[in-house]
Structure 1
Amino acid sequence: MQTDIDPRNLIGRKAFDRKGTKLGTVDEVYLDDATGIPEWAAIRMGLFGRDAFVPLEPSELIEGTLRVPFDRSLIKDAPDFGVGRHLSPEQELQLYHHYGLDIAPPPPLNHNSTNTTTQEDP
């Protein structure tokens, strides 16, 4: 998704699935803890429906609406963690798996262990 978009501008926008079916309205936007980049949107699905989390990458903001490249049924079945709370890394991982999105594991810690002993040839 375009990273120059203010996440506050997403609140209240209509959201549509990949087929153009209306999903609902963006209720909340969740930022990545490390980067501050908008990562997830909670979409209010129906008047009495629950909020469903959708990934903002690879979603697009087109002509003032959020286009989510997944089917409504998949979005509707996304894990429900409730809105207004912080998403834990484990919850985010569940959402990534639900949507079939591959995420790169964090890079391994670089332990520059050097061998301080030297062996001499006899």
Structure 2
Amino acid sequence: MSCASPRPYGGTVQTDIDPRSLIGRKAFDRNGAKIGTVDEVYLDDATGVPEWAAVRTGLFGRDAFVPLEPSEVVDDALRVPFERSLIKDAPDFGVGRHLSPEQELQLYHHYGLDVALPSDFQRPHPQDSP
């Protein structure tokens, strides 16, 4: 897993669509409930492949990160295979900034997705007990 940065180009999603064209598309959960509108697309630093989308939920202007790997574009909309409530409760890291490996790991865990830790990932050291 590499860090992800917002970038306006590169990579493909499962449907071979340009990530730039995801911006502004409506996003729906697994049941067809509207989540919001795609605000930004984050690409993997190492591969340039789209990895995350920030979806403006409309709930206090908040963006929720959703994984693009299990998602797909259907009928000009992003279909995310998770419940709206899970998406709404995703960790909020703000948009327009680089996602750190730790933040990505939190997102993967939140969605119950398996991911290999990057070789440079530093696990927290347990504090020495007295």
- AA aligned to 2:76 is G
Tell whether the 8 Å contact from 1:32 to 1:38 is kept in structure 2 after alignment: yes
Alignment correspondent of 2:95: 83
Q: Which residue of 1 aligns with 2:62?
A: 50
Choose the corresponding residue for 2:112, options 97, 100, 105: 100
- State the AA in 2 paired with 1:42: A
Percent identity reads: 84
- Of structures 1 and 2, the larger Rg is shown by 1
Alpha-carbon distance between aligned partners in 2 of 1:33 and 1:39, rounded to the nearest angstrom: 10
Q: What's the TM-score, normalizing by structure 1? A: 0.83
Q: Which residue of 2 aligns with 1:6?
A: 18
With normalisation by structure 2, the TM-score equals 0.78
Structure 2 residues without counterparts, runs of 5 or longer: 1-12, 120-130
Contact 1:3 1:37 in 2 (8 A): no
* Distance in 2 of aligned mates of 1:28 and 1:11: 6
**Corresponding residue number in structure 1 for 2:128:** none
The residue type paired with residue 40 of structure 2 is E
Conservation of the 8 A alpha-carbon contact between 1:3 and 1:38: no
Q: 2:68, 2:106 → 1: CA distance?
A: 15
Distance 1:101 1:89 in 2: 15
Counting only pairs closer than 5 Å after superposition, residues 103-122 of structure 1 correspond to structure 2 as 103-106=115-118
Provide the aligned C-alpha RMSD in A: 1.5
1:38–1:100 distance in 2 versus 1, CA, 3 Å: same
Unaligned 5+ residue runs, structure 1? 108-122
The runs of at least 4 consecutive aligned structure 1 residues that moved more than 2 Å come to 104-107
Determine the C-alpha separation between the residues in 1 that align with 2:33 and 2:75: 15
| 1:64 match | 76
Instruction: Give yes or no for the alignment of 1:26 onto 2:35.
Output: no
- How many positions carry a matched residue from both structures? 107
Query: Larger relative contact order (C-alpha < 8 A, sep ≥ 6)?
Result: 2
